Amino acid sequence: MNRRQIGLKLALETAGRQLEIDTFDNRLALQKLVYLLKHGGIHLGYSFGWYLRGPYSPSLTEDAFNLVAEQKAGSADLAGWAFDEASARRAQSLAKLWENIPEIRLPRHLELLASVHYVLDNRWLPGDADPATISETLKKYNKEFSPDEVSSALVRLRETGLLSAA
């Protein structure tokens, strides 16, 4: 297990999630969750580009599958590894983005948050773009999020410091 994989496992656990990749929805949620952690200050070494379902990191997928294989083989030992206090607090704070979201809705919820963040962070739109404009832009990329959903995502992203207040 390499340092990045160790960091991934620690970040997920600290943020109240487990590494699960057995379904497409679990892999989707993992991608968006790690994207949000990264932009919240938990730098695990993954870079993200835009893909069909929003921000995506091929190296994260590779690491996740390798880590699961190591865990199944019984070699995923994290003894002696821990997050520093500031990173742990930040990961726990970011977990507010997905707490109280039913598991069945979690992948779409995380996809919405990560997609809205991505288009604004990468300046596809100005930071003061209204929810309707953001929704229309996302629809061009086959993301069917309503202006109300986008508005809710903006509030949550701002509350956790992932976007500055408008």
Name the token pair of 8: 């991934």
According to the model, what pLDDT value does residue 82 have? 83
According to the model, what pLDDT value does residue 135 have? 96
Q: What span, in angstroms and rounded, lies between the C-alpha atoms of 121 and 127?
A: 8
pLDDT in tens, 93-138: 999 999 889 999 999 999 999 999 999 999 888 878 999 999 999 9
According to the model, what pLDDT value does residue 29 have? 95
Per-residue pLDDT band for 77 (boundaries 50, 70, 90) equals low
Q: What span, in angstroms and rounded, lies between the C-alpha atoms of 52 and 26?
A: 16
pLDDT in tens, 17-46: 989 999 999 999 999 999 999 999 998 999
Q: What span, in angstroms and rounded, lies between the C-alpha atoms of 82 and 105?
A: 30
Mean pLDDT (the chain) is 91
Name the token pair of 95: 């977990």
